[in-house]
């Protein structure tokens, strides 16, 4: 039989938060462009948000081989979904989505009435590790998708060695350099470890869970990472020693944009869960080139009112223009405590613009944007790198702690403000980024942005890795 006569069909299962659904949808679209059929199994909440606030439906209607399906994550639609409730989402997925997914897959795989070709493999977010049991049950290969950086993935994989060496949980000074993450000896400090690696309690249950998750992910048939070889080559080689079929195909938004530009006339690909306030674009149009620092802490991070005030004073005192996203659910506290103080909003004058949610990819590419004060979420970091915009990193949790160390120490694309938030530091860092040290940061940012373009263009590393992933999927369907 001709190996191409069976049409490949993959099932994509994202973890139900903005950053992860966003990047997996981009992967889905790239696979559709290669002629692979895709069933995208989305949890109800993100699906509802996408249909309400993004253009996914119109965009994906162009691909006859694409379909959305939905599944519950056990949480009511109105359940808040910031970092404070992150563990609720993890629990909901484990207790509700996992058994439903098992039932659903057994029934699909046995069904004789489904008109679609049989599934070739499951591509699941690495946080959906239960997909391994389901894949084994129905006899399908499992591919895990890493929505986080390769450096954070590798640090998580190294937790068993860190625990064995007594480097985790933290006992001494968190500035101490670690020796148990291969390839990061000498510059990674305890305080840079992702998530549960920063705890000082050996009994902390998150630690053992993380170990289990990453041991399971490493046993997958293949691994897809939203990064690129020029950015994370040394770490990727460490990962490939353990998972030879590791495909670095990112940055996915740049990769998709490049493919869409060459294959169709459309290049808009918003996967937003919230209504974008586009009024910031005409405001940006009125600002001088590279004069604005964009401030945004992603879709989950929350901040206290004190932190908000310190950030605001630091920004205003720096003299820089700023565009700041303050999500309606970003402030810690109950009801009225969650309101952004009116005097801050009034005090921004013409130099500042505040919105509840921005069209971030468009903002990052705007000529007026010259810096990014970010929480170092991986999507935001990649969007900044692609746009050639240097960063001030104020990591909040999880992978963000190590991303910020790589941004400042390895890639030299900005500064790390980890664990600090006072107006003097903010002012100094904004001045450094936008004025004093601008030339050195811009040089590194321009070089990396050029590498991105090469990586996603014909013959580039991500372009070729995506080709290999597609070939791998075709072989599996043969
Ligand atoms: C989460 C984790 O927190 C992060 O650490 C991990 O790397 C990915 O998943 P999140 O915190 O939301 O994501 O951050 P990030 O990865 O940066 O994703 C946020 C996404 O929302 C980005 O694609 C960004 O463009 C988008 N966004 C953010 C908007 O479109 N508008 C906004 O106003 C803010």
pLDDT range class, residue 356, cuts 50, 70, 90: very high
What pLDDT, in 10s, does the model give residues 444-458? 999 999 999 999 999
- 201: pLDDT strictly greater than 70: no
Q: What is the pLDDT of residue 113?
A: 80
Q: Which two tokens stand for residue 170?
A: 């933290």
CB 146 within 8 A of CB 34: no
- 311: pLDDT strictly greater than 70: yes
User: How far does residue 18's CA lie from ligand 1's centre (Å)?
Assistant: 6
In the chain, count H helices and then E strands: 20, 13
Q: What is the pLDDT of residue 271?
A: 94
Q: For a substitution probing ligand 1, which of 273, 299, 362, 384 has the most ligand atoms within 8 Å of its CB?
A: 299
Q: What is the pLDDT of residue 114?
A: 78
Mean of the per-residue pLDDT values of the chain? 92
Residue 464's φ and ψ, nearest 5 degrees, are: -70, -40
Rounded to an integer, what distance in angstroms lies between the CA atom of residue 405 and that of residue 413?
Answer: 10
According to DSSP H, which parts of 75-149 are helical? 86-92, 98-110, 131-138
What pLDDT, in 10s, does the model give residues 369-420? 999 999 999 999 999 999 999 999 999 999 999 999 999 999 999 999 999 9
Whether the CB of 380 sits within 6 Å of ligand 1:
yes
Whether the CB of 54 sits within 6 Å of ligand 1:
no
- 343: pLDDT strictly greater than 80: no
Q: What is the pLDDT of residue 336?
A: 67
Query: Is-cis flag, bond preceding 169, omega within 30?
Result: yes
Residues whose CB falls within 8 Å of the CB of residue 470, separated by 6 or more in sequence, listed in order? 31, 34, 36
* 3-class DSSP state of 50: helix
**Which residue's CA is the nearest one to ligand 1's atom 4?**
377
CB 224 within 8 A of CB 249: yes
Atom of ligand 1 nearest to the CA of 22: 23
**Which residue's CA is the nearest one to ligand 1's atom 30?**
360
Residues whose CB falls within 8 Å of the CB of residue 263, separated by 6 or more in sequence, listed in order? 33
Neighbours of 407 (CB within 10 A): 26
Rounded to an integer, what distance in angstroms lies between the CA atom of residue 144 and that of residue 125?
Answer: 6
Q: What is the pLDDT of residue 4?
A: 42
User: How far does residue 5's CA lie from ligand 1's centre (Å)?
Assistant: 39
pLDDT range class, residue 2, cuts 50, 70, 90: very low
CB 41 within 8 A of CB 71: yes
Q: What is the pLDDT of residue 61?
A: 95
Render the burial of 201-217: b for 16+ CB within 10 Å, e for the rest: eeeeeebeebbebbebb
- 269: pLDDT strictly greater than 80: no
pLDDT range class, residue 172, cuts 50, 70, 90: confident
**Which residue's CA is the nearest one to ligand 1's atom 28?**
298
pLDDT range class, residue 203, cuts 50, 70, 90: low
Whether the CB of 325 sits within 6 Å of ligand 1:
yes
């Amino acid at each position: 039989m001709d190996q191409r006569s069976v049409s490949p069909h993959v099932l994509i299962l994202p973890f139900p938060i903005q950053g992860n659904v966003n990047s997996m949808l981009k992967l889905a679209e790239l696979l559709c462009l290669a002629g692979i059929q895709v069933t995208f199994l989305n949890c109800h909440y993100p699906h509802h948000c996408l249909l309400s606030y993004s253009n996914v439906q119109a965009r994906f209607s162009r691909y006859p081989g694409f379909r959305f399906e939905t599944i519950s994550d056990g949480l009511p639609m109105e359940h808040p979904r910031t970092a404070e409730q992150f563990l609720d989402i993890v629990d909901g997925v484990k207790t509700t989505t996992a058994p439903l997914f098992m039932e659903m897959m057994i029934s699909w795989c046995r069904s004789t009435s489904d008109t679609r070709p049989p599934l070739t493999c499951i591509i699941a977010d690495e946080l959906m590790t239960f997909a391994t049991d389901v894949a084994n049950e129905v006899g399908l290969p499992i591919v895990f998708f890493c929505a986080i950086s390769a450096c954070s993935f590798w640090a998580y994989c190294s937790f068993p060695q860190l625990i064995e060496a007594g480097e985790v949980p933290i006992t001494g000074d968190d500035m101490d350099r670690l020796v148990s993450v291969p390839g990061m000896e000498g510059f990674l400090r305890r305080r840079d470890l992702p998530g549960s690696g920063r705890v000082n309690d050996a009994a902390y249950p998150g630690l053992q869970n993380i170990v289990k998750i990453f041991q399971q992910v490493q046993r997958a048939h293949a691994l897809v990472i939203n990064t690129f070889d020029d950015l994370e080559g040394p770490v990727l080689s460490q990962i490939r020693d353990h998972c030879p079929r590791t495909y670095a195909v990112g940055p996915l938004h740049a990769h998709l944009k490049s493919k869409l530009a060459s294959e169709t006339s459309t290049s808009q690909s918003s996967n937003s869960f919230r209504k974008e306030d586009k009024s910031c674009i005409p405001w940006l149009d009125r600002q001088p080139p590279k004069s604005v620092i964009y401030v945004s802490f992603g879709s989950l991070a929350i901040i206290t009112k004190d932190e908000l005030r310190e950030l605001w004073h630091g920004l205003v005192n720096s003299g820089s223009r700023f565009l700041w996203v303050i999500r309606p659910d970003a402030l810690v506290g109950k009801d009225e405590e969650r309101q952004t103080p009116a005097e801050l909003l009034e005090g921004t004058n013409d130099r500042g613009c505040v919105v509840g949610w921005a069209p971030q990819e468009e903002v990052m590419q705007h000529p007026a944007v010259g810096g990014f004060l970010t929480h170092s979420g991986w999507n935001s970091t990649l969007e900044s790198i692609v746009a050639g915009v240097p960063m001030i990193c104020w990591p909040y949790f999880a992978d963000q702690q190590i991303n910020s160390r790589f941004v400042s120490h390895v890639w030299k694309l900005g500064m790390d403000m980890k664990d600090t938030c006072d107006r003097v530091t903010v002012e100094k860092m904004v001045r450094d980024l936008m004025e004093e040290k601008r030339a050195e940061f811009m040089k590194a940012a321009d070089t990396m942005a050029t590498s991105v373009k090469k990586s996603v263009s014909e013959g580039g590393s991500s372009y070729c890795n995506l080709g290999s992933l597609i070939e791998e999927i075709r072989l599996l369907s043969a």
